[in-house]
Amino acid sequence: MRLLLSILPFLVAPLMLIAQAAPAATPPQIALFARLVGEWEGEATAVMGPGARHVLRQTERVEAVAGGTAFAVRGTGHERMADGTEQVTFDAFAVIFLDHDHVTPRMRTFTMFGGNWADPDFTIDASGYRWSMRDPRAGLIRYEMSFDTDGRWVETGSVSRDDGKNWTPIFEMKLTRKR
């Protein structure tokens, strides 16, 4: 028993070194998100229900996780109330990663509204990203992100109730990097 205890550290040490290997580089398919890492802030306009237009102070925080092989995105919308206070009226979280094939970018989103989550259709290219999903209550929803000429993060959202023939804007944000 003493012999086993004395050689155990030598047997376990190589496993510890493997566990601490250098993190993998960010896969090129999701490298756009390395450009987004940091804190962003700006104005957003959201339509939540018929004629319910809300102006928000939107913040987005993007962080590289798992050695740069995935990205965590936290979006928070702060709305000024009638009494002058600010209240969080939008809170969402997303994880960006590659599928098991190590090729296909994926996004899983979570919102504060009833704990809903989604795995939307998701594409990334050098100029930005697009994601879309079908919502049984709203119809087909799509979001498109790009950078404007000032380097701001610009994202728009729209909804279609007729399978993409007509689109109605429901969201727009323009964010400036803060850190």
| C-beta of residue 21 within 8 angstroms of C-beta of residue 153 | no
Share of the chain above pLDDT 90, in %: 67
- Indicate whether 16 belongs to any domain: no
- The pairs formed by 133-138 with CB atoms below 8 angstroms and a separation of 24 or more are none
Q: How many CB atoms lie within 10 A of CB 122?
A: 20
- Indicate whether 13 belongs to any domain: no
Q: How many domains does the chain have?
A: 1
What pLDDT score does 16 carry?
A: 45
| 150 HSE (CA, 13 A, CB side) | 7
Lowest mean pLDDT among 13-22, 102-111, 115-124: 13-22
User: Could you tell me the residue range of the domain that residue 137 belongs to?
Assistant: 23-177
Mean pLDDT across the stretch 92-101? 94
- Indicate whether 18 belongs to any domain: no
CATH of the domain at 78: 2.40.128.20
- Indicate whether 3 belongs to any domain: no
Residue count of the chain = 179
The H or E element spanning position 11 is helix 2-19
- Indicate whether 1 belongs to any domain: no
- Indicate whether 120 belongs to any domain: yes
**Tokens for 111?**
């919102």
Mean pLDDT of the chain: 87
- Indicate whether 10 belongs to any domain: no
Q: Is the pLDDT of residue 3 over 50?
A: no
Q: Is the pLDDT of residue 12 over 80?
A: no
Confidence at 112, pLDDT banded by 50, 70, 90 = confident
Residue in 60, 32, 35, 38 with CA at minimum distance from that of residue 173: 60
Confidence at 92, pLDDT banded by 50, 70, 90 = very high
Q: What is the pLDDT of residues 50-72, one digit of tens each?
A: 778 899 999 999 999 998 899 99
